[in-house]
Amino acid sequence: MSGTLALVGGNEWTDGCTFDLELLAASGGTDVLVLPTAAAYEYPERAVANAATWFAAIGGEVRGLMVVARPDAEDAGAADEVRRARFIYLSGGSPLHLRSVLKDSAVWHALVEAWQSGAVVAGSSAGAMALCDPMVDPRGGAFTLGLGLVEQLAVIPHHNTWSVDKEHRTLTLAPKALSIAGIDEATALIRSPDGTWRAGGAGEVEVFRDGKRAGLDALPS
């Protein structure tokens, strides 16, 4: 049975992200391993520092793992650290860079192994997008390959900031029977180990299938 999965709509580690306390408890410890891969060109050290400040206030302790380029993702030591982690958090940033660094890498395989053995995995914005397959392409709202921890699910992060036109374009281009989750900022779509989904945090989650609104039960288990 896999561990808990949280797909966060952005603005991670800010007021409103009340679900992080729940995720920390689900991990069974206090350590959080943050991979700022998606923020490689946006001050990844700052992302780790923000996470450390946030989690310290709720009893967590953050370690940053600077997997920011492809050679980092093939490092055996980095993969071992991910494999041992009980709570792995992928920051926001560029989903395309995140995918290119982690796709079929040693670190990615270690993350999947950790999750399948019960670890908590969370991804925010770019992290949430890339964990799914297919993935919304940020360059135009169409679809491209993701990492595929969850299949037949695509995420629209920052959904509360999307225009009606942009949302309509993405829904129109979606493959038939694909579930799409629009997740607001500081909000998480959480998958429990038993495969059920729920929302948490400051905002809302809207699910779409075949261009129409659907419930959480339309999400893949």
d(CA 5, CA 210): 24
Looking at residue 165, its pLDDT comes to 84
Burial class (CB in 10 A: 0-12, 13-18, 19+), 55: buried
- The tally of domains found in the chain comes to 1
- CB distance 46 to 77 below 8 Å: no
Residue type, 119: A
Q: What is the pLDDT of residues 129-150, one digit of tens each?
A: 999 999 998 887 789 999 999 9
Task: Please say whether the dihedral angle defined by the alpha carbons of residues 24, 5, 218 and 214, taken in this order, is positive or negative.
Answer: positive
Q: What is the CATH number of the domain that holds 76?
A: 3.40.50.880
Q: What is the pLDDT of residues 54-103, one digit of tens each?
A: 999 999 999 999 999 999 999 999 999 999 999 999 999 999 999 999 99
Task: Please say whether the dihedral angle defined by the alpha carbons of residues 46, 83, 111 and 26, taken in this order, is positive or negative.
Answer: negative
Quick check: bond before 134 cis, omega within 30?
yes
Range of the domain at 51: 5-218
